[in-house]
Amino acid sequence: MASSLSLLVIDDHRIFAEALCLALGLEPDVRSVAKAHTGRDGLAMAAALDVTAAVVDLDLPDLDGIEVVTRLGLLRPAARIVVLTAHARPDLAKRAVAAGAAAFLPKEAPMVRITAALRGQGGDDPVVDLGAARPASVGHVGLTPRELDVLRQLAQGRDAQQTAATLGISLYTARDHIKALMAKLGARSQLEAVVSATSLGLVTVGSRY
């Protein structure tokens, strides 16, 4: 495939999608990353942009994710389509591959695994990962129970003030917890913290499957 990647991320979870785009944009061979939060918007972008690879969530508000994979394949036959889902089940993997997906990965897959699938480093055969490996434990990362509570709030798209109100803590305390968990996850922003925690299996984005 092309030496540089033009990517499209289709995921209705805005925080996760933005964090994923941020992480992908740091890759040296990625020239552009577009994002859409609905299947129809994603298909419109695929038709308008020179997309070489796409990440598709199966949980979309308007269209079935498998249908989006099929239609993306018709719009961009040469593009690699990677399904990234919170429910990595064998039946869904089979349907996704049959629809044309080049890879089927769980949302907790490490970033290196996702980028390898987008680049086609696994060869021509479809890559299926059902996430059998155990996720990292909270203790291994070093997060306290309260820091995990705060992290879950961030993953739902809440800011520091909303998190403080939801958890019944002060804004000052919420910000302290955010700084601490970002440091432990090696994240430079709250978005990076969310995507890192998702890759480690510490938080899971909501799913309708």
**What pTM was computed for the model?**
0.73
User: Mean pLDDT throughout 45-67?
Assistant: 96
Q: How many domains, the chain?
A: 2
Residue with tokens 């591959």: 97
Q: Which domain holds residue 95?
A: 5-128
The CATH number linked to 189 is 1.10.10.10
- Which comes out higher in pLDDT, residue 123 or 182? 182
Express each pLDDT in 159-191 by its tens digit: 999 999 999 999 999 999 999 999 998 888 888
pLDDT over threshold 90, residue 26: no
Same domain? For 108 and 149 the reply is no
In a domain, 205, yes or no: no
Same domain? For 22 and 121 the reply is yes
Q: What is d(CA 196, CA 105) in angstroms, rounded to the nearest whole number?
A: 16
User: Mean pLDDT throughout 82-111?
Assistant: 91
pLDDT over threshold 60, residue 79: yes
Same domain? For 142 and 120 the reply is no
Same domain? For 71 and 160 the reply is no
Structural domain ending residue among the three candidates 110, 128, 146: 128
Q: What is d(CA 9, CA 29) in angstroms, rounded to the nearest whole number?
A: 16
Distance of CA 168 to the CA centre of its chain: 29
Structural domain ending residue among the three candidates 128, 158, 189: 128
DSSP per-residue letters across 107-168: TTS-HHHHHHHHHTTT-SSPEE----SPPPPHHHHT--HHHHHHHHHHHTT--HHHHHHHHT
Same domain? For 148 and 124 the reply is no
Structural domain ending residue among the three candidates 105, 128, 151: 128
Same domain? For 14 and 97 the reply is yes
Same domain? For 120 and 76 the reply is yes
Q: Average pLDDT, whole number, for the chain?
A: 88
Residues 170 and 73: beta-carbon distance below 8 Å: no
Place 10 in a pLDDT band, splitting at 50, 70 and 90. Answer: very high
Q: Would you state the pLDDT for residue 2? A: 46
pLDDT over threshold 80, residue 123: no
Same domain? For 43 and 114 the reply is yes
Residues 117 and 80: beta-carbon distance below 8 Å: yes
Same domain? For 41 and 84 the reply is yes
Tokens of 79: 């593009």
In a domain, 22, yes or no: yes
The CATH number linked to 37 is 3.40.50.2300
Reduced to 3 states (helix: H, G, I; strand: E, B; else coil), residue 5 is: strand
